Amino acid sequence: MKKSENSVAADKLRSFELQALPLMPQLYGAALRWTRNPSDAEDLVQETFAKAYIAWAQFEQGTNLKAWLYRIMTNTHINLYNKRAKDQAKGALDELEDWQLGSAESVTSTSSRSAELEAIDNLPSKAVKDALNQIPDEFRMVVYYAVVDGLPYAEIAQIMNTPVGTVMSRLHRGKKLLKKLLAEYAAQEGYNVTNSGTAND
């Protein structure tokens, strides 16, 4: 016997609540870092979950639900907040401390910490934040995921719906831009940042 529309809707709601809602705190944490405003973060998460519920039938069960939700939230964030981001949300990395840049290296790759990240550790965290806020959106989002959220390359690729190689390329370019901006800051403040990435007072 064919299920009634009410029964189908109830099954959909139960499935969504069981699988998606437990991830809400994690997405809210990311949204808060991006927006720097609890009210905006709540709006972003609510909009994300509303869209996710509507599109729930399109989610392929057994695949990465967190990546699917992150992708929806990323697109929603860009649509809702990108204009404001140029004026007030460029400080979305204010929660980031400079030591996190170093820890991200071990999370996102198996290589040892790069020389430039060792140098960054010797610079004030505000300088790091300000430099990150100047990186173009397409690179900054990768830095968000890799540095702030500590996600591996493969998961970032799923979220952004891009190849892993593109993620690695954007992260590399983002770090290169970051290093350039920090080198300029270091020169102004009297630090010595060499080509090898060392920094001294």
Q: What is the pLDDT of residues 47-94, one digit of tens each?
A: 999 999 999 988 988 888 988 998 899 888 877 755 554 444 444 445
Domain end call among 31, 59, 90: 90
Q: What is the 3-state secondary structure (H, E, C) of 35-101?
A: HCCHHHHHHHHHHHHHHHHHCHHHCCCCCCHHHHHHHHHHHHHHHHHHHHHCCCHHHCCCCCCHHHH
Distance CA 121, CA 50 (A): 40
Domain end call among 62, 90, 118: 90
Q: Give pLDDT, residue 186.
A: 73
Are residues 15 and 56 located together in one domain of the fold? yes
Are residues 117 and 62 located together in one domain of the fold? no
Contact between residue 103 and residue 150 where contact means Cβ atoms under 8 Å apart? yes
Are residues 188 and 99 located together in one domain of the fold? yes
Q: What is the 3-state secondary structure (H, E, C) of 109-138?
A: CCCCCCHHHHHHCCCCHHHHHHHHHCCCHH
Are residues 195 and 111 located together in one domain of the fold? yes
Per-residue pLDDT of the chain (201 residues; tens, 9 = 90+): 455 667 767 888 888 999 999 999 999 998 888 777 899 999 999 999 999 999 998 898 888 898 899 889 988 887 775 555 444 444 444 544 444 554 444 444 444 445 545 555 555 556 666 777 788 877 877 877 887 677 889 888 888 888 999 999 999 998 888 888 878 877 776 665 544 444 444
Q: Give pLDDT, residue 188.
A: 75
Q: Half-sphere exposure (CA, 13 Å, Cβ side) for 144? A: 25
Are residues 106 and 64 located together in one domain of the fold? no
Are residues 34 and 109 located together in one domain of the fold? no
Domain end call among 26, 60, 90: 90
| Domain membership of residue 29 as a residue range | 5-90
Are residues 65 and 47 located together in one domain of the fold? yes
What dihedral do alpha carbons 112, 118, 119, 122 form, nearest 10°? 170
Q: Tell me the whole-structure pTM to 2 decimals.
A: 0.55
Distance CA 15, CA 17 (A): 6
Domains contained in the chain, number: 2
Are residues 42 and 136 located together in one domain of the fold? no
Q: Give pLDDT, residue 191.
A: 60
Residue 62: both structure tokens together: 């057994």
Are residues 99 and 171 located together in one domain of the fold? yes
